[in-house]
Structure 1
């Protein structure tokens, strides 16, 4: 029996709370979450993470939301299901979903040249510039060095200021032939959609996604974040403790790549739509399009925590497509100063998980991988069980023994740059 699948467990922790929806019969294995909740709280407490929340979606409903800790270290206000977090690169899933809706509505074509909408865009070789198509933006397959000019984002440059710098570069391969994760280039989908429709990206997102999904507390940009009284503050690690920081607006200048603010309750509605239960928002052809593998991402096979689970990895449009043996999940993570976010769902199991944190802790990936390997039936019966035993026993193992363990080092975050999510070492 799975170590999640126990029938009863009680836990009460200061500033923690759960919201459980009515659970209806479902064909796939029925997961009960008491042990995942215990693992969630224990690992966050061990890492001294100020606050976080997770939600599980099943079918067309939110099955469980559990919040932990405080919105800011300087406050006693608790994190709730409606606390606003920055979700960083998880914003890319919204940009891709919106773009796919508009493309299927005939507003533009995936094969349109980027220069049709952004005429000022150019590489050093003009012939290569002409080969970049709109779809290459959302698949990170433009062909240039990963995270091109993210350093200028960090220097608070705008997109308009950065675009001319691409005239100094040439692709490493022909567009569409190799993978390189981008923020600046990905964000040009904002220009494409605005040019194709005559409306702002923020208004399109509101009209096509936020409003129909009743995502009342979701927004784009720093103003939307600051307008919420129930918002989480960012925290960064230093000298073995977390420090509260002010939100920086750098990545907010790139709304399609990293500009969405949302809550666990709101983001759950987005997962429900991704699972196919809101065809008025995300029709099946649109979902099939964004989940179609566009480019292989071999580097993902070496990602901390995920590398012992993945058997193949691709990028679709705004989503990572992970194979775990015979199973598949659709995933994306986000990391911006002081925040982490992860979202994933399994179409075959009709279930999704999201985790939001107000701290830059790699424990988020431990929790995600633990959840998915347990939920996916064959994995929980086969080689991955020792992997989770390692996570569960970590806090019970003396530090000296941890240093000698072959499993436990897998769960130590190092804050290093990961091309996969556009993370920057600070």
Structure 2
């Protein structure tokens, strides 16, 4: 078994900032007045049908174009057997979609010269070491946010799930060596990704919770959004997690494990919150997310060939990369910026097209693969002429 047991999970997740001036952002394609609303109407029907077919307790979605919400709805119930409905303000766990926030916050702090993504991790976390001592010295902050640290995928997630304290998990890396040099291969991480948190806190003398609230949630008026386990439990309008059993979907307890890694999996939000996040990602809130920040997030850093085999997505994907906290998909002939999240009892998908200036977010309170059909159906319709 070696020195340590590493469990590889399939996570659906979801660039260092260039010194040169960022390239101009793509000019959005303008839809005909009736086309997107018509598509939104047919998607709404499809969404309800698919949730009913899969018996998913509840879900919500929002479609945005430019700086406007075109359609936003919640369906079903927050808890199986309950009566309280899911609405646009119902809070879900975002799981790995949280990585998009950590990357965006990091890029903003880089823009403010708080740190550089070329900085070495050991400059901020000196106790971090690999088995071969000098190999840790090569690891840069940009490698954390692009999952290109070279470490075996999902390293020590099993310890997270066993509620092992994060400091102890960090020191466990001294028992292993990377599979490749940093920047050379892709390996999805939660523990390593979360190491950007201590960097932010040391360079700003503020907590991660305060930073994300003051720099992202509040200016974007994400009024239901929060970070952490206790914050989720304190949300009155929150969805309960559900797992599949032989008898159907069963409500389960909210597990605190992945809240240990806030930048990787610690954000809670409603679909109305996520609509504002999408609008900002698409360039319509430059006072919060500048063009330079957005371009740095979606620069291709490492190829992720495994994504090409994803259920439902494989029918459309031609290539796949990871940037900073976002996946960059070649969906037919067009580029799609995407991330997914999956944690006990919840699924989340968020994606947008720069060229078409359209985005969608889907949140479910059950671990259902129906989310893949929902997302791919939407984008197949949007990009029909380019597939």
Tell me if TM exceeds 0.5. yes
How far the C-alpha of 1:118 sits from its partner, in A, is 0.7
Deviation at 1:226, TM superposition (A): 1.0
Two-structure CA RMSD over aligned residues (Å):
1.0
* Residue aligned with 2:170, SS: helix
Find the residue that maps to 2:255 and give its secondary structure: coil
Structure index of larger Rg? 1
1:307 correspondence with 2:314: yes
Q: How many Å separate the matches in 1 of 2:287 and 2:185?
A: 34
**Aligned partner (choices 158, 177, 190) of residue 165 of structure 2:** 158
> Matched residues in 1 for 2:102 and 2:164: separation?
21
Contiguous gaps of at least 5 residues in structure 2: 1-28
Q: CA deviation at 1:178?
A: 0.5
Map 1:362-381 to 2 at 5 A.
362-379=369-386
Match of 1:55 among 59, 62, 78: 62
Cα drift, residue 223 of structure 1: 1.2
How far the C-alpha of 1:91 sits from its partner, in A, is: 0.2
CA distance in 1, matches of 2:350, 2:165: 27
- Residue 228 of structure 1 is matched in structure 2 by 235
For the residue of structure 2 that corresponds to 1:76, the secondary structure is: coil
- The aligned residue for residue 28 of structure 1 is 31
Q: Helix, strand or coil: the match of 1:109?
A: coil
User: How does the TM-score come out when normalised to structure 1?
Assistant: 0.82
Q: What secondary structure does 2:283 align onto? A: coil
Structure 1 segments of 4+ aligned residues over 2 angstroms from their partners: none
Deviation at 1:240, TM superposition (A): 4.1
How far apart, in 2, do the equivalents of 1:157 and 1:332 lie? 27
Greater relative contact order: 1 or 2 (C-alpha under 8 angstroms, separation 6 or more)? 2
- Secondary structure at 1:56 match in 2: strand
Q: Aligned partners of 2:291, 2:165: CA distance in 1, in Å? A: 35
- How many residue pairs get aligned? The number is 355
1:45 and 2:48 are equivalent in the alignment = no
State whether structure 2 residue 90 is matched by structure 1 residue 83: yes
Q: Aligned pair 1:246/2:248, yes or no?
A: no
Corresponding residue number in structure 1 for 2:331: 324
TM-score (norm 2): 0.90
* Post-superposition offset of 1:335: 0.4
Counterparts of 1:256 and 1:83, CA distance in 2: 21
Of residues 183, 189, 197 in structure 1, which corresponds to 2:196?
Answer: 189
Instruction: Give runs of aligned pairs for residues 12-411 of structure 1, distance below 5 A.
Output: 27-29=30-32, 30-31=35-36, 32=38, 33-379=40-386
Task: State the alpha-carbon separation in 1 of the partners of residues 302 and 165 from structure 2.
Answer: 28
Q: Distance in 2 between matches of 1:159 and 1:199?
A: 19
Q: Residue 314 of structure 1: CA displacement?
A: 0.2
> Once the 2 structures are TM-superposed, how far is the Cα of residue 74 of structure 1 from its aligned partner?
3.7
